Amino acid sequence: MTLLEFLAPSYLQMLGALSGWLEKAEKSDGADALTGARLADDMFPLATQVRFACVQALEGMHRLRDEEFPPQVAALLDEGRMAGDAPGTLADARARLAETLDAVRDLASGPVPDDPDRPVAHAIPAGMVFDLTAGQYVRDWALPQFYFHVMTAYAILRANDVELGKADYVAHMFAYLRPGTMPGESETA
């Protein structure tokens, strides 16, 4: 399995799940205020968490393809940084997720450099640069940062009484469920 074959399905599963959580949130009381909701005063709001999850997925895919980031990444970063003042709507967030899902699907196809030892220089806005291999980048940055933003979005939604549970977080696992083992399901169902 290549690094991209590892990353792309993870991004697709969790971005799809996040879109589903936001769809549930749209039906809840106070849905309009959710995009500005935070877990703590010094944390970014839900709108930013969604956009930064999209950024992490796009950056991860483009970096593994050894490609420059498209303008969409800068736009998402700008929107995310400004979301405290202009969080937008849940529909806006779902539209960004849909765009990102399409981009990840497109980026997952075609030939890709597949050297887990290829050097990757990862710069962050504070001016720090991390020198990693592609494998280290995936393991130590791309997936943890992505899941941080996805999980923070989940926690914000839960903290604001959106009806989500563990099954919503791991919905992709039901494709692997052995028939007859769901609680309350009979062997012959």
pLDDT(186) > 80? no
Average pLDDT over residues 119-133: 92
Average pLDDT over residues 50-55: 98
> Once rounded to an integer, what is the mean pLDDT over residues 117-132?
92
Separation CA 87–CA 80 (nearest Å): 8
Residue 180 amino acid letter: G
Q: At 27, is the secondary structure helix, strand, or coil? A: coil
**The pLDDT value given to residue 38:** 96
Cα separation values, 23 from 20, 147, 164, Å:
5, 19, 11
State the distance between the two ends of the chain, measured CA to CA, in whole angstroms.
35
User: CA–CA separation, 13 vs 10, rounded Å?
Assistant: 5
Alpha-carbon distance of 52 to 73, in angstroms, equals: 9
The domains of the chain are located at 3-176
State which of 27-31, 99-103, 175-179 shows the largest mean pLDDT: 99-103
pLDDT of amino acid 111: 78
CB 162 within 8 A of CB 21: yes
pLDDT at 30: 85
Topology at the third CATH level for domain 3-176: Four Helix Bundle (Hemerythrin (Met), subunit A) (1.20.120)
Q: Are 107 and 8 in contact (CB under 8 A)?
A: yes
Q: Quick one: pLDDT at residue 153?
A: 98
Name the residue among 53, 54, 55, 46 with its Cα closest to residue 25. 46
Res 143: pLDDT: 97
Instruction: Tell me the pLDDT band of 189, cut-offs 50, 70 and 90.
Output: very low
> DSSP letter at 32?
G
pTM for the model:
0.92
> What average pLDDT score do residues 41-69 get?
96
